[in-house]
Amino acid sequence: MLNEKVAGTVSGFGEVIRTVIYALIIALGIRTLAYEPFSVPSESMLPTLLVGDYFFVSKYSYGYSKHSLPFSPDMFAGRVMEGIPNRGDIAVFKTPADNQTDFVKRIIGLPGDTIQMREGTLYVNGEEAKRERVEDFRDVDIFGNVKLVPQYRETLPSGVSYMVLDIRTTPQDNTGIFSVKPGHYFAMGDNRDNSQDSRFNSLGAVGQVPAENLVGRAEILFFSTDRSGPWWQVWRWPVMIRYSRIFDSLRS
């Protein structure tokens, strides 16, 4: 009788272990082939993405590279089942500076395009991306302080439209003409005065993004918190969560 109980316990424990292993394999498969969650740590994509936003990226949209896998193992080069981003897509990629750090920016230029900024206005292949001044963006920090920031609706020549911030004149508001190299993409943050992106191409800067470095396309917000308190203060979660942002689409 005792042996039967021991055998039953061992068998039950083994079943739990197998279930956990299966669950991990399924989760890894979903993360690698379908969707991966990311969070927003910086203000470079304001007003589209706020610090404390969490969103899903579709891995299949642009195909798969070594960066689709955890830790980017050097198993193969290039992309498999490659998909081409559209101008205006919000994409996550590994920055070429170290091929490890995840960046989220908007794809502005495709291979063969020319990109230029003139007095804060974007030009794609010599054609102006129209900018319309709209109501100021209301920026609220973790202490509840409110700052109003100049906001514009920018429309690419293709018709894709989104909001950008442009607070003041900076060197990156006036650039030379960038020619997007074959197999590369030109990415920019929507917060034009506070974004390290393809406009910066010095050593260690982002520069143009190789197609291999694309991780996926941002699809939808699934959670958002204003970070006004630490995560362990569960009693404050009801007031910390930005309910109005949950399930917002990130497709232009």
For residue 11, being part of any structural domain is answered with: no
Residue 39 neighbours by CB under 8 Å, 6+ apart: 52, 53, 54, 55
pLDDT in tens, 106-119: 999 999 999 999 99
Count CA atoms closer than 13 A to 88's CA, side-chain side. 15
State the pLDDT confidence band at 22, using cuts at 50, 70 and 90.
low
Strands 35-39 and 184-188: unpaired
Strands 102-109 and 184-188: antiparallel
Distance CA 86, CA 187 (A): 11
For residue 176, being part of any structural domain is answered with: yes
Tell me, what's the pLDDT at 12? Answer: 64
For residue 153, being part of any structural domain is answered with: yes
Q: Which of 44, 61, 65, 68 is catalytic?
A: 44
Domain count, the chain: 1
Count CA atoms closer than 13 A to 28's CA, side-chain side. 9
Out of 15-29, 50-64, 160-174, least confident range = 15-29
User: Which CATH number fits the domain that encloses residue 193?
Assistant: 2.10.109.10
Cis peptide bond upstream of 70, omega within 30: no
For residue 179, being part of any structural domain is answered with: yes
Count CA atoms closer than 13 A to 156's CA, side-chain side. 21
For residue 145, being part of any structural domain is answered with: yes
pLDDT in tens, 183-236: 999 999 999 999 999 999 877 789 999 999 999 999 999 999 998 888 888 888
For residue 6, being part of any structural domain is answered with: no
Tell me, what's the pLDDT at 178? Answer: 97
For residue 118, being part of any structural domain is answered with: yes
pLDDT in tens, 117-141: 999 999 999 999 999 999 999 998 8
> What is the pTM for the complete model shown?
0.89
105 is catalytic: yes
Tell me, what's the pLDDT at 17? Answer: 79
Tell me, what's the pLDDT at 232? Answer: 86
For residue 73, being part of any structural domain is answered with: yes
Q: What percent of the chain has pLDDT over 90?
A: 72
pLDDT at 142 over 80: no
Which has the closest alpha carbon to 154: 248, 220, 92, 88? 88
Residue 6 neighbours by CB under 8 Å, 6+ apart: none
Residue 173, sorted as left (phi over 0), alpha (psi -120 to 50) or beta, turns out to be: alpha
Q: Which of 105, 195, 198, 224 is catalytic?
A: 105
Structural domain span for residue 146? 34-245
pLDDT at 165 over 80: yes
pLDDT at 27 over 70: no
44 is catalytic: yes
Tell me, what's the pLDDT at 230? Answer: 85
